Structures are given as C-alpha cells and as structure tokens.
C-alpha cells in the first residue's frame, strides 16, 4: 500500500497534465470545437513501476465511502481479474480545475479560437435589396464626382397633401410634374451634398421615398418630418436594413444605367432631368417595397413552418379556427398588396407615351431583379395558400365529426325511450343516413313519427 502511494506521488504531475488536457478536450467538444491533444509516451521508469504494481493479491471487501476527496482515488472493479488488469488512478476534480484555470490564464482566447455554432439560431440573412448578382458586377471607379441616390420604404402609405404642406412650411420647394404622374410628390432643396447636381426628394404615396444628392443632416431632418404623415409605419430597423443605395453622376451622352450606377445626361434641362430621376426612383421604390413584403412573407412562413412537421409526425395541430382565419387574412392581405395594389406586374400607364423613360424604368427593374423576385414571392404565396386551405378543411372536418358524434349521442339517449325492435332499427338506419349523407336542412317544421 505504501508502494502505491509513492507511485501516485511520483506520477501525480504527469497525470495532472493529462487529466487537464482531457478536461479541456471535453469542454471544447461541448462548445462545438475540437482540440488536437498531443499524446506523450509514458516514461520507461513509470511503465516499469506500473508493471511491478500489478500483482496477484486478494483485496479486502470494504464498503464504499466518500470521506477522502483530497487525495488520489482508486476505482476497483468487481472481479479479481478486472482488478488486476483494469486498475485506474482517478485524480481529484480540484486538480483538473486548477489545470484548466492555469491554461486559461496563459491563453485567455483559447475558448474563442474555434467557431462555435449555437443550436437553434439561424444565421441572419443579408438584405433583400442587396442581391449577390448585383454585388459581383464590376462598378465604376468611385471618385469625388459620384453622388448618392438612396431609397427607403418607411410605411404602408403616406398622406401626401399634409406632407407637402409640412415640407413647404419648413423651407422646402415643391416641383411640378405632369398631370398623369399622380400619387407622387417631388420636393427640391438647396441643401445638396455635392455641388454637381441639385438635391431632390421623391415621395410616393405607397410609402417610399428616394433622396438624390441630399446631405445627411437634411435627410435625417426630412425623415423626422415624414414620421408625422405615415400610415402604418414599419420598424426603424427594418427600414434601415432594407434600402437601395446607388451612386450616380452627370456625364456626357444619354442617360443610362451602367455597371450599377446611374449616368445622367448633362444636356437635359431641369424638367427632363426631374422626369428621368422620377423613372429611376419609381423602380427603386418598387424594389424596397418588395423587400419589405419579402420580409413579411418570411415571417409568415416561419409562423407556420411547424405545421407540416406536426402533421407528418401524427401529432395534433394546436390551432383554432380563429387563428387559421387570421393566418388566411394575413396571407391574402400580402397577396393583395403585391399583385393588385402595386405596379409590380405591369408597367405604369405613365410610361406608355414616354418610351425613353420606359426604357430607363425597365432597365432599372431588370437590374434590381424585380420580376424574378415577384415570381418567387408568388410561388411562396401559392404554397402558403395550399397549407392554409388544408388547415381550414381539417378544422371543418373536425367540426363535422364533432356534430356527428353529438347526433349519435342524442340518438342513443332517445333509443332508451322506445322498446320496440322495429323502432330501434329505424332509428339506427336514420342515424346512419344522417352520418353518411349531407341532408339539407328543412325549411318548414317537420314532425317525424316512429
């Protein structure tokens, strides 16, 4: 026994380091990382003493106690053969904790070296308005001549008459547009970010706004004014997350969209330049509004994504009829906004007799992938509609089944009042007919005599 204690005293530093590495490897494996621990061979002196310590002898049967936790503990097995061949020396847990603390003090960043994946957390997606295909396109060299055009969708709708009056009272100027350009407000300001072009703001009644060469201070000021004229505003984080930002400049030649930037012609007068900016702004506003609706659709899909799995596992879907009808209402509201209330499916009538503006509008819509995104959204809406219809029919069947059982129970109660076998058979036959055939409700009072 003294020999074992001496051996454990000699081997304790080596076993402590090994145990500390084993503890770290267990900790890191739970965090999702892997630690490559080097295996060091045991010295020949230690292996010799270990071989000498294994001898055939009879162990005394003792009760298991937990009184001594400070020193090394020996775990014995049941049989003598297991005791002789599988004797393990277990070190105290306190020693491993000290080793772990010392390693953490030497290298504090050891737990953050490896990327860990948190279960149940989804990796956040990028903004819908920042498509990878657009990000990979070669862009022009951004120099000091480039100005900024940025679009936001802040609410479901704007009240343009009061907004116009409020902006004019704050020193801004309203600009005239053709009569067929309805539901649009164009405001100019002297607070331009760069002197190469005039500052312009285009407000659409559908709840979106585009700023052309407007300095940041003025932009924030206008956004604060806009808050008082919004109908059903969106969340601020969503507004700043889903936006369109495109650089533009004024150059020679015709106005065009080149390499992800707007090139405005320097030969246009002020009225024509405003119309061209209006065409670009129209496409940008459609893109940001579609991005907001895509986020709403994603939230709707997440709210019903557990239903197919629940049906697949055979469990009961915990949705009431009112909740299903609410989901159907949300779905059709979103479908109405995308396909009926907006100009996502058809080119606006404003461009029918203005071919040059229509080309700019179509080119920008193609660059922003609006048609492809609308098709994807409608496909998702179709699948969601099928799922909600399935849930509605399922609840309708459950309601019908409940009514049928109520009829059966009532018939069973009435059977006790009749003693004739013929009456009993007639009641059973009538109940079967009621369960199998959807009989119409009689318009007049009818008395059934059995």
Residues 376-421: tens digit of each pLDDT: 998 998 888 888 887 877 777 776 777 777 777 777 666 666 555 6
Given a contact cutoff of 8 angstroms between Cβ atoms, the answer to whether 284 and 364 are in contact is: yes
Given a contact cutoff of 8 angstroms between Cβ atoms, the answer to whether 199 and 171 are in contact is: no
In this model, does residue 187 exceed pLDDT 70?
A: yes
Do 74 and 14 share a domain, yes or no? Answer: yes
Do 153 and 274 share a domain, yes or no? Answer: yes
Q: Which of 398, 419, 440 is the last residue of a domain?
A: 398
User: 342 in a domain, yes or no?
Assistant: yes
Residue 400 CA to residue 394 CA, distance in Å, equals: 10
In this model, does residue 81 exceed pLDDT 70?
A: no
State the residue range of the domain holding 78: 2-112
Residue linked to tokens 């402590």? 16
Q: Within 10 A of 103 (CB to CB), how many other CB atoms are there?
A: 16
Q: Which of 373, 398, 423 is the last residue of a domain?
A: 398
Do 160 and 226 share a domain, yes or no? Answer: yes
Do 167 and 258 share a domain, yes or no? Answer: yes
Do 375 and 308 share a domain, yes or no? Answer: yes
Do 311 and 266 share a domain, yes or no? Answer: no
Do 277 and 306 share a domain, yes or no? Answer: no
Given a contact cutoff of 8 angstroms between Cβ atoms, the answer to whether 338 and 290 are in contact is: yes
Residue 274 CA to residue 200 CA, distance in Å, equals: 8
User: 35 in a domain, yes or no?
Assistant: yes
Do 38 and 102 share a domain, yes or no? Answer: yes
Do 269 and 322 share a domain, yes or no? Answer: no
- The predicted model gives 46-52 an average pLDDT of 41
Residue 176, CB-side half-sphere exposure with 13 Å CA sphere: 3
Classify each residue of 4-24 as buried b or exposed e, where b means 16 or more C-beta atoms within 10 Å of its C-beta.
Answer: eeebbeebbeebbebbbbebb
User: 446 in a domain, yes or no?
Assistant: no
Given a contact cutoff of 8 angstroms between Cβ atoms, the answer to whether 244 and 287 are in contact is: yes
User: 417 in a domain, yes or no?
Assistant: no
Given a contact cutoff of 8 angstroms between Cβ atoms, the answer to whether 287 and 368 are in contact is: yes
Domain count, the chain: 3
Do 209 and 300 share a domain, yes or no? Answer: no
User: 269 in a domain, yes or no?
Assistant: yes
pLDDT tier at 353 (50, 70, 90 boundaries)?
Answer: confident
User: 408 in a domain, yes or no?
Assistant: no
Q: Name, of 3-12, 114-123, 138-147, 164-173, the range with top average pLDDT.
A: 164-173
User: 406 in a domain, yes or no?
Assistant: no
Do 247 and 343 share a domain, yes or no? Answer: no
Q: In this predicted model, which residue has the larger pLDDT, 178 or 33?
A: 178
User: 133 in a domain, yes or no?
Assistant: no
Q: Which of 281, 310, 329 is the last residue of a domain?
A: 281
Do 271 and 370 share a domain, yes or no? Answer: no
pTM over 0.75, yes/no: no
């Amino acid at each position: 026994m003294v020999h074992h204690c001496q051996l454990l005293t000699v081997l304790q530093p080596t076993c402590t380091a090994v145990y500390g590495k084993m503890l770290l490897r267990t900790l890191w494996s739970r965090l999702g990382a892997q630690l490559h621990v080097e295996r060091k061979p045991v010295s020949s002196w230690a292996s010799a003493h270990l071989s000498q310590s294994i001898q055939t002898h009879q162990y005394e049967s003792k009760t298991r106690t937990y009184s001594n936790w400070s020193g090394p503990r020996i775990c014995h097995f049941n049989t003598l053969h297991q005791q002789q061949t599988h004797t393990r020396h277990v070190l105290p847990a306190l020693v491993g904790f000290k080793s772990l603390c010392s390693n953490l003090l030497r290298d504090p960043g050891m737990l953050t070296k490896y990327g860990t994946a948190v279960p149940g957390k989804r990796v956040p997606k990028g903004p819908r308005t920042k498509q990878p295909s657009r990000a990979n396109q070669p862009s022009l060299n951004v120099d000091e001549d480039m100005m900024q055009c940025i679009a936001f969708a802040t609410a479901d709708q704007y009240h343009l008459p009061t907004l116009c009056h409020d902006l004019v009272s704050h020193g801004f100027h309203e600009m005239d547009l053709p009569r067929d350009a309805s539901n649009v407000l164009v405001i100019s300001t002297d607070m331009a970010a760069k002197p190469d072009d005039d500052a312009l703001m285009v407000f659409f009644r559908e709840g979106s706004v585009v700023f052309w060469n407007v300095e940041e201070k003025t932009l924030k000021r206008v956004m604060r004014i806009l808050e008082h004229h919004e109908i059903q505003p969106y969340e601020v984080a969503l507004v700043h997350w889903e936006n369109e930002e495109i650089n533009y400049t004024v150059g020679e030649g015709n106005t065009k969209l080149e390499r992800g930037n707007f090139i405005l012609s320097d030969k246009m007068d002020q009225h024509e330049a405003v119309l061209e900016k209006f065409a670009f702004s129209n496409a940008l506003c459609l893109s940001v509004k579609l991005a907001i609706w895509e986020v709403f659709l994603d939230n709707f899909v997440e709210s019903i994504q557990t239903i197919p799995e629940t049906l697949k596992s055979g469990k009961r879907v915990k949705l009431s009829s009112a909740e299903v009808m609410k989901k159907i209402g949300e779905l059709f509201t979103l479908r109405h906004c995308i396909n009926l209330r907006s100009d996502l499916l058809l080119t606006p009538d404003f461009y029918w007799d203005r071919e040059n503006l229509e080309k700019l509008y179509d080119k920008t819509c193609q660059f922003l992938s609006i048609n492809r995104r609308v098709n994807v959204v409608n496909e998702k809406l179709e699948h969601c509609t099928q799922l909600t219809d399935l849930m509605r029919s399922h609840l309708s069947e459950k309601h019908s089944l409940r009514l049928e059982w109520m009829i059966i129970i009532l018939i069973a109660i009435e059977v006790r009042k009749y003693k004739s076998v013929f009456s009993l058979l007639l009641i059973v036959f009538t109940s079967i007919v009621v369960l199998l055939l959807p009989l119409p409700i009689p318009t007049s009072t009818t008395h059934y005599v059995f």
